[in-house]
Amino acid sequence: MDKEARIELQPRIVTPPPGPRSRAYMEKEKRLFFAAWYTDKDVPFIMRRKQGWLVEDVDGNRYIDMVTGWASTPLGAGYRPVLERVVEALWESGGVECTDYVTDIRLFDLAEKLVAISPPNLTRVAPDTTGTEAVEAALRLAREKTGRYFIITFHGSFHGGNYGAAGAGPLAPDVTRGIKEYIHGFIHVPYPTCYRCPFRQTYPSCGLACLDYIEDVILRYETAPDQIAGVLYEPIQGENGVYIPPDGWIEGLHAMGRKYGWVMIDDEVQTGFGRTGKMFAIEHWPGVEVDLMPLAKALSGGALPIAAVLGTDEVMTASDEIYLGGTFAWQPAACVGALAGIEAMERERVLENVAALEQIALERLAPLADRYEIVGDVRIKGVYIALEFVEDKESKRPVPEITRAVHKRCIEKGLVAIHEHGLWWIRLLPALNMPPDLFRRGCDILEEGIAEVSREYGKGVA
């Protein structure tokens, strides 16, 4: 890459965000869209374009992109080997087709590829359009297979925004507002959020109390195991701040599921396709076999919406009368884009780059918990990264105001990451193929923001 291109890859702030054009569009946004669309947004600019690993706003500011379409542009924006094939497929296929009625030839190559790269026991595919729909499809498949009603899910999980998926994932009361009172059939139990253990214990002396809770409390007092169809879980909780379960939890959960005949649903909508350093996050636990695996986001290759559920023969053939998918599920061009994205990950050895970025994160970000009073915990798995902010190390009191100040300061310096209104962690979801030097620069900006905000709030800096 020549010098001019290297300069182009750097963030650039020409006017403090939000600039005048962004402010004008943000006012228009309030007039045009429903209130919840804009109320909690914490990004003070309007995007004009994305290219590679950078976002440019309408005022000419350029930011390092650590959002990547909420993990949906895994190879950076405008990745030509995917987009060119998608455009060609759009012309060739004629655009939209209802492929669950008129099957298109392009579906077969993607389905075969997904089966080839997935855990060996997952041999069939249910096409869908979004992660939410894929999760809801998995729930229906599990209940259809077992004839049972209840699904165990976990506090702090997010599985989607529609009635069924939102009811399954109690991330926060605002997510289930207007839903919880109508949706039943879910049993919510604690996830191993070790930094904030609900049992006030410490791993490993806790003996995985959160796992024992299922048998000691739920199965003893609330629901018989033969009424439970399955377990829906994230192998690493994402929206809740990238909580990585401790050794033994995944294995123990699956052993319990096998004991009682539960369908084990591994929600890889956000962790799938390299985000955690493996093609699928469940591969970090060798020997664990899942029954259903919802996929979306990075499956798109950064092009068109697409989702799927991978499953075992036993679960996927339990009924031939269940309706899943829909008009826009597995559009021909979307299938081409998904396949091209997977092939690019393999061809360009993207997982090796993820390992390099993870090492940078461990070197640059992990030490921040010791260096700054407000950084309570740093959680890193591949390029699934979160920093949690606290008042101090002893109290661990959440500090949404300070977190938002760090987030805004980073944007002012040319880094956009994920911070949701009212929460006290910031997440980084860089593209899997982001150049290490650019990722390192993003980490530097984040520390600069933390240092400046720490001083402004009178917090300790080592």
Q: Which CATH number is 391's domain given? A: 3.90.1150.10
Checking if the pLDDT of 182 tops 50, the result is yes
Residues 318, 355, single domain; the answer is: no
209 shares a domain with 261: yes
Residue 73 lies in a domain: no
**382-418: per-residue pLDDT in tens?**
999 999 999 999 999 999 999 999 999 999 999 999 9
Judge if 165 and 269 occupy the same domain: yes
Domain assignment present for residue 180? The answer is yes
Per-residue pLDDT, 5: 46
Query: Which pLDDT belongs to residue 24?
Result: 97
In 82-116, which positions are buried (b, 16+ CB within 10 angstroms) versus exposed (e)? bbebbeebbeebeeebebeeeebebbeebbebbee
Instruction: Say which CATH number the domain at 190 has.
Output: 3.40.640.10
pLDDT band at 4 (very low <50, low <70, confident <90, very high): very low
Question: What mean pLDDT comes out for the span 429-451?
Answer: 98
Give me the mean pLDDT over the 427-451 stretch: 98
- For residue 340, the enclosing domain spans 80-347
Backbone phi, then psi, for 374, in 5-degree steps? -80, -10
Residue 106 lies in a domain: yes
Structure tokens, 100: 């669950």
Looking at the structure, tell me whether residues 175 and 305 fall in a common domain.
yes
| Type of residue at 139 | L
Q: Which of 167-181, 326-340, 357-371, 381-395 has the lowest mean pLDDT?
A: 167-181
55, 104: one domain: no
Same domain, 58 and 162: no
Model pTM score: 0.96
pLDDT at 68 over 60: yes
Contacts of 347 (CB under 8 A, 6+ apart): none
Of 289, 321, 347, the domain-final residue: 347
User: Parallel, antiparallel, or unpaired for β 375-381 and 384-389?
Assistant: antiparallel
| pLDDT category of residue 6 using cuts at 50, 70 and 90 | very low
Instruction: Identify whether residues 34 and 130 lie together within a single domain.
Output: no
Both 164 and 249 in one domain: the answer is yes
Question: pLDDT, tens digit, for every residue of 230-278?
Answer: 999 999 999 999 999 999 999 999 999 999 999 999 999 999 999 999 9
pLDDT for the residue numbered 190: 98
pLDDT of the residue at 3: 43
Above 60 in pLDDT, residue 444? Answer: yes
Mean predicted confidence (pLDDT) in 70-87: 97
